[in-house]
Amino acid sequence: MDFLTSPFSLTEDLGIDLGTANTLVASEAKGIILDEPSVVAVYKGTNEVILDGLGVGIEAYAMLGKTPTNIEAIRPLKGGVIADFEITEKLLRYFLQKATEGGSWRKPRVVVAVPSGITTVERRAVINSTERAGARKVYLVDEPMAAGLGVDLPITEAQGSMVVDIGGGTTEVAILALGGPVTIKSVKVAGDDCDEAIISFIRKNHNLQIGPQTAEKLKKTIGSAAPLETEKSMEIAGRDTLKLMPRKAVITSEDVREALQEPLGQILRVVLDCLEEAPPEIGSDLLESGITVVGGGGLLPGFDTFITERTGLPCTIDEDPMTAVARGTARFLEDLDLYSSFLSDGEDLN
Ligand SMILES: Nc1ncnc2c1ncn2[C@@H]1O[C@H](COP(=O)(O)OP(=O)(O)OP(=O)(O)O)[C@@H](O)[C@H]1O
Ligand SMILES: [Mg+2]
C-alpha cells in the first residue's frame, strides 16, 4: 500500500473549490472541512492581512462595504479567476493552515477546481499560488468535471449527462460522457451579475442607490426565476439618487424577478448553445437524465422550472448545490491515478 495514501498516513490530501464568492476545502475522510467567503481584509495600500493574518474569510466578509478608512476588504477572485495573486495566496495559505490544523506534519497534495475557461497562464498561476501557500503537489480539475463527480453523474460512462454550475463570478455548462466534456462552455455571468442587475433595476425604477450586500440579500430573500405561489416583498434602505439622502423602499419579488431577466437570459443562452452543439445520441440521453444544477445560483427558487420550461428537459437542483464542486475535488483524491485523465499537474500545460 502506498504510504502516502494509506489510512495511517500522516498527511491528508485536500480538495479545494477556489470560488469567486466562497472557498471550500474538503478531504476524502472528513468531507467539507472549511467553507468561508473568499474575502481578505488588509490595511489599505498594503497587502498586509489585518488581525495578524487572521482577517480572512468569515471575519473579512463581515467588513465588506463598511471598513474603517485604513482597512480594505478585498475579493481577490473576479469572474472566476484570480485578480490579485498575492492576496489569493494569503487566502489559500490561511485556509490550508486552518484545514490541516493539529493534523499532518507533511504538506498535503491538493486538487483545485478551476473554471474551464481560464487560460494556461492562469492555470499555472493557480498551481504556483497553491504550492506557495503550502501544498506539496497541486492538481487542477475543471469545475464541471468536479461538479459532475460531486453529484454522482456517470462521468466515466457512455451515458451523457449535463451539469450547470452557477457561481458568483462564472457559470459553467457542460455535457459530460466517457470521462470528458462533450461540450463545455463558461460565461462570466453568474450570481454577482444578478446582484448588479438588482442594483441597476432599483436605481432606475425606485431612484434608490443600494449596495451589493443589500442586493444579494434581496436576491436570497425574495428572488426567484419563476412566479412564486405567494409573491413576497421586503423593505430595504439605500440613498435617494435625487435628494442624496438615506431612504427606505419596499421591493417586491416581481421587481426582483424582472431585474433578474437579463442575467438569467444570458445563462439560459449558454445552456441552449451547449444543447444545440451536442451530438444527437447524447441529446437523447439528456431527455432521460436531464440537467443537474449546482452552485449557489441553483438556490434561486424556480430555477428548475425556468430551465425546464425553456429547454423541455428535466432539471434537478442538487440538494446541497454550494458544496458539489468541493465534494467532487475530494472524490478525485480517492484515486489520483484512476482519474489522472481529468487532472492537470502543470506538466501538460504549454
Ligand atoms: N438562496 C440563494 N438564492 C440565490 N442565489 C444565492 C443564494 N444563496 C447564494 N446565492 C448566490 O450564489 C453565489 C455563490 O455561489 P458559489 O459559492 O457556488 O460561487 P463560487 O463557487 O464562489 O463562484 P465561482 O464558481 O463563480 O467562482 C453568490 O452570488 C450568492 O449570492
Ligand atoms: Mg464555483
Give residue 3's pLDDT.
44
Angle between helices 253-277 and 191-206 (to 10 degrees): 140
Give residue 10's pLDDT.
52
Closest ligand to the CA of 78: 1
Contacts of 344 (CB under 8 A, 6+ apart): 123, 139, 140, 141
Residue nearest to atom 19 of ligand 1 (CA): 167
- pLDDT digits over 115-135, tens only? 888 889 989 999 999 999 999
Give me the average pLDDT of each 10-residue run along the chain (350 residues). Answer: 46 91 96 96 93 89 79 89 91 92 82 91 92 94 95 92 96 92 93 98 98 96 98 98 97 98 98 95 93 98 98 98 98 90 85
Atom of ligand 1 minimally distant from the CA of 23: 22
Only one residue has cell 442586493, namely 215
- pLDDT digits over 255-264, tens only? 999 999 999 9
Give residue 325 CA to ligand 2 midpoint distance, Å. Answer: 7
Give the architecture-level CATH label for domain 153-317. Answer: 2-Layer Sandwich (3.30)
DSSP state of 107: P
Residue nearest to atom 5 of ligand 1 (CA): 297
Give residue 66's pLDDT.
73
CA dihedral 32, 38, 43, 46 (to 10 degrees): 110
Residues with a beta carbon under 5 angstroms from ion ligand 2: 19, 167
Only one residue has cell 428537459, namely 313
> What are the angstrom distances between the C-alpha of 272 and each of 172, 206, 232, 259, 283?
13, 33, 30, 21, 12
To test the pocket of ligand 1, the residue of 140, 166, 170, 234 to mutate (highest count of ligand atoms within 8 Å of its CB) is: 166
List the chain domain ranges. 14-38+75-146+325-342, 153-317
Superfamily name and number for 14-38+75-146+325-342:
ATPase, nucleotide binding domain (3.30.420.40)
- Kindly list the protein residues whose Cβ atom lies closer than 6 A to any atom of ligand 1: 17, 19-22, 80, 167-170, 190-192, 216, 219-220, 223, 295-297, 299-300, 322
Instruction: Assign 9 to helix, strand or coil.
Output: coil
**CA torsion through residues 218, 256, 171, 89, sign:** negative
Closest ligand to the CA of 257: 1
Give residue 349's pLDDT.
77
- Return the H-helix or E-strand segment holding 129: helix 120-132
Give residue 1's pLDDT.
42
Closest ligand to the CA of 186: 1
Give residue 61's pLDDT.
87
